[in-house]
Structure 1
Amino acid sequence: MRWRGLTGVLSSQACTLSANRLLTVAVPWLVLDRTGSAAQTGLVVACQVLPYAFTQWLAGPLLDRIGPRRISMAGDLASASVLIIPAIFGTPPLWLLTLMLVVVGCADGPASAAKRMLVPFAAADAGQSTTRGVGLATAVERTATAAGTALAGWLVATLGGDRALWAAAAMLGVATLIVTLTVTDPVRDRGRDDETYLDRLRTGAAFLRHSRPLRALTAMFVITNLLDQALMAVLLPVWARAGGHDATVVGLALSTVGLASIASALASAGFGTRLPRRATYLIGVLSSGPTRIIVLALDLPPQVVIGVYALAGIGSGLFNPLLETVQVELIPAALRGRVQTLISAWAWAGIPVGGLLGAVLLNTGGLHAALWICGLAYLAAVLRPAWRMDWSRPSAPAPPGDGIRLVPAGRNRITRMLRERPCPPNRDEHRHLLRRRSGGEVTLHR
């Protein structure tokens, strides 16, 4: 029974991620089939994607206040309820489909952030390290990306776009049921009763602003996501066409990345705690980041490109769980919802303009110049955190209450006085485990 919570969180993530991958295939196909307009298709898809990161950030104080389990259940249930509209009322008009996807994006952002928050607590309850829990969650995500997209294509081809939405609703309903039956909400430090919602939102922003390691990671996320989007949306397809290759080469390279990352994420879950952190980070980011772009700039054969992309997948599966673990260690459990969702919002900020950047570089200097610029910028972005952060593992947990102090600073606001050293990373996880084993309540003395 110790693994019940972790198994439940991972299973619900698998269902939710598979539903999302299904929507990424079914919705564009449905809109294109109905309108034949690529512009309208892009607009409808954007209506789901754009609210995702923004509502994650806005939900941060609620995640810390009322707990991630309830947010996860509410978000998945809301998305499932909206997606069954075609089953009840028939094929929706385009405006209603757009509104449905806006609601799904608004609900899915907080629900996804909630499951991410539950992983460290569930891992502690199972007697496992945060690294192992995060590694397993990464493997689930990559598997859902690889298998979920293939399943989505089959469902859309056999059932049609409308009925594929029903399948997505069913998956989200199953995810809600799994969380309801298997996951326990961790003990939450609810903070001051007189703190307003905006006070809590500002507290998360203040913590991120005063933490140099987290600032370095956030800047890296923003730049690399922007460059990844430029590569995926513009540069990789243009490289394939310019070299006389068809879409099969692109699809095979991307599939290789996904499959290799699943294997390395499982390896990270198995023995990631024994790997040297700085070396693991450098090997992971250098093999999975700039190499994917530079290998295209060198005009190497497709076989070499696919091999490099396989190595990139291995590196990706190694360093992503490490970065997630580091964030868990650096952010106090009481602030994790606000700070992690803010980091995610910043990370998503560059994605909408990534394709535009790729197009501008392509039109300005040509394909090779654009590839070299993006590759070198990617290299600079990933190297910065390697020397801006302390990669040593945390020492024994500090006494309860250490690391963060509330100080009044005016009539209507609270200023957080933040120390540079990280707060005890697993205090709430340990309290959660102690409560589950003893059946009693644990009081946090501040």
Structure 2
Amino acid sequence: MSARRLPLYGWLTAEAISLLGTRVSMIAIPWLVLVTTGSATRTGLVAAAELTPLVILKATGGPLVDRVGPRRLAIVADSLSMVSVGMIPLLHRSDHLTFPVPLVLVAIGGGLRGPGDAAVGAMVPSLVASAEVPFERATGLASAIERGATMIGAALAGGLVATIGPANAVAVDALSFGVCAVVLLVTTRGLVEPVSAVDGEPTADDEPTSYLAELRAGWDFLRSDALLMSLCLMIAVTNLLDLAWSAVLLPVWARESGAGVGVLGLIFSVWGGASMLGSFVAAAYGTRLPRFTTYVVAFLVTGLPRFVLFAIGVPLWAILAMCVVGGCASGFLNPVLGAVEFERIPPALVGRVTALNSAVCWSLMPLGGVLGGVLVSGIGLDPALLMVGLCYFAATMAPTLLPRFREMDRAVEPAPVAV
């Protein structure tokens, strides 16, 4: 392994471990709360308690990433997350995990994940520069790891919860945070991080800018870039619709059609595996593909067709074939969108802009399940599938009407930004 690429591969390894641990906790923590309290309402409150501070602190933690440095903040966040998550099985073992203690602990964990995830993402420009690889290579490999973790993590979580119990499964997640911190500490040592100031921004020798002013500078840059802002809003809507599809529409389809939970798991696995394959291909050949055309074709394939096929009741083999084609197409999206994002952001703003972008993209997700439930209850499953599919088509194709959207096909030197 080339020494200059060690930080990139170390970062990817830490991402794989972190994502697998997170997928385990997504199942193990709600199950632990459910079996210890017997309350579905309290289980739902725990999920909300984690997501709310995660989104808020991801949105507001960008200046902290730029001030502290992405690498340092990522390591600190992982280390503290190990402690906060590790308290859950420890308190459970000592019979002190009484409600609302888990509510507080998952809120702390979510609060740490917000800036921590932002810091991990903000490391990409430095990693790419050190490894001397295109952005598509790094974002493609990261996307493949994310898709693979989604496919494997659920099965791993189920196995761990069944064999060692939910509390011990949560302990595995806590341990994964510690391993991630060590991997990043060892493999990214000496990595040169983005500069902390742009031309015209005060330095340590001048009067420092306020945290709020730095946060505002990130938001001003994001909303002034028509391409980035349209992509950001588009992803927020598609995340909302994707969650409605996966959390409500598909489970209801599995029940009403008689397919059952086994087929539901098979659909997710096939889609995740195909998406991982697509991401690997994009990582290898993404630089040769026109980004705008790749965006349009990928969303045309992975968007509306899946909703239509479920609504019209095609055989299972056709659905699985669609999962292969649509999943593979979806794997090309994150490498393209990630490359566009990182190329357009000034180095001094990378932490706050990527944090704000990610927070906006996540902002509508808590409403996804509510949307799916309201639609199914109000108009029925098949009309709900078609309506969500048409909204998905509109959300993904509307940005292409912007003339500047074709700037995806070329790297743009970001303009200097004064704070």
Is TM > 0.5 for Structure 1 vs Structure 2? yes
1:135-164: CA deviation from partner (whole Å, max 9, x where unpaired): 111111112222222222111111111111
Q: What is the aligned partner in structure 2 of residue 419 from structure 1? A: none
1:394, distance to aligned residue in structure 2 (A): 3.4
Query: Is 1:175 aligned with 2:180?
Result: yes
Query: Is 1:326 aligned with 2:331?
Result: no
On the 8 A contact 1:253/1:310 being kept in 2, the answer is no
Quickly say closer, same or farther: Cα 1:86–1:52, change in 2 above 3 A.
Answer: closer
On the 8 A contact 1:67/1:185 being kept in 2, the answer is no
Whole-angstrom distance in 1 between the partners of 2:367 and 2:408: 35
Q: What is the aligned partner in structure 1 of residue 406 from structure 2? A: 390
Whole-angstrom distance in 2 between the partners of 1:42 and 1:392: 39
Q: What is the aligned partner in structure 2 of residue 186 from structure 1? A: 193
Counterpart selection for 1:66 from 68, 82, 94: 68
- The answer to which structure has the higher helix fraction is 2
Q: Identity percentage over the alignment?
A: 37
Q: Aligned with 1:390: secondary structure? A: helix
1:286, distance to aligned residue in structure 2 (A): 1.5
What one-letter code is carried by the residue in structure 1 that aligns with 2:202?
A: R
1:34, distance to aligned residue in structure 2 (A): 0.9
What one-letter code is carried by the residue in structure 1 that aligns with 2:111?
A: C
Q: What is the aligned partner in structure 2 of residue 236 from structure 1? A: 250
Counterpart selection for 1:33 from 17, 35, 43: 35
Query: Is 1:280 aligned with 2:282?
Result: no
Whole-angstrom distance in 1 between the partners of 2:353 and 2:89: 38
TM-score (structure 1 length as normaliser): 0.86
Counterpart selection for 1:259 from 273, 283, 289: 273
TM-score (structure 2 length as normaliser): 0.92
1:166, distance to aligned residue in structure 2 (A): 1.6
Whole-angstrom distance in 2 between the partners of 1:263 and 1:272: 13
Whole-angstrom distance in 2 between the partners of 1:78 and 1:105: 11
Q: Aligned with 1:74: secondary structure? A: helix
1:308, distance to aligned residue in structure 2 (A): 0.8
Whole-angstrom distance in 1 between the partners of 2:22 and 2:269: 18
Name which of structure 1's ranges 120-129 and 23-32 shifts more when overlaid on structure 2.
Answer: 120-129
Name which of structure 1's ranges 372-381 and 150-159 shifts more when overlaid on structure 2.
Answer: 150-159
What one-letter code is carried by the residue in structure 1 that aligns with 2:58?
A: Q
Q: Aligned with 2:61: secondary structure? A: helix
1:21-48: CA deviation from partner (whole Å, max 9, x where unpaired): 1111111111111122211111112211
Quickly say closer, same or farther: Cα 1:104–1:392, change in 2 above 3 A.
Answer: closer
Name which of structure 1's ranges 172-181 and 229-238 shifts more when overlaid on structure 2.
Answer: 229-238
Counterpart selection for 2:263 from 240, 244, 249: 249
Q: What is the aligned partner in structure 1 of residue 80 from structure 2? A: 78
On the 8 A contact 2:59/2:360 being kept in 1, the answer is no
Runs of 4+ in structure 1 deviating by more than 4 angstroms, as ranges, are 86-89
Quickly say closer, same or farther: Cα 1:87–1:253, change in 2 above 3 A.
Answer: closer
1:120, distance to aligned residue in structure 2 (A): 2.9
Whole-angstrom distance in 2 between the partners of 1:257 and 1:393: 27
- RMSD over aligned CA atoms reads 1.7
Counterpart selection for 1:94 from 85, 90, 99: 99
Q: What is the aligned partner in structure 2 of residue 218 from structure 1? A: 232
Q: Aligned with 2:298: secondary structure? A: helix
Q: What is the aligned partner in structure 2 of residue 422 from structure 1? A: none
Q: What is the aligned partner in structure 2 of residue 129 from structure 1? A: 134
1:185, distance to aligned residue in structure 2 (A): 4.7
What one-letter code is carried by the residue in structure 1 that aligns with 2:54?
A: Y
Query: Is 1:403 aligned with 2:415?
Result: yes
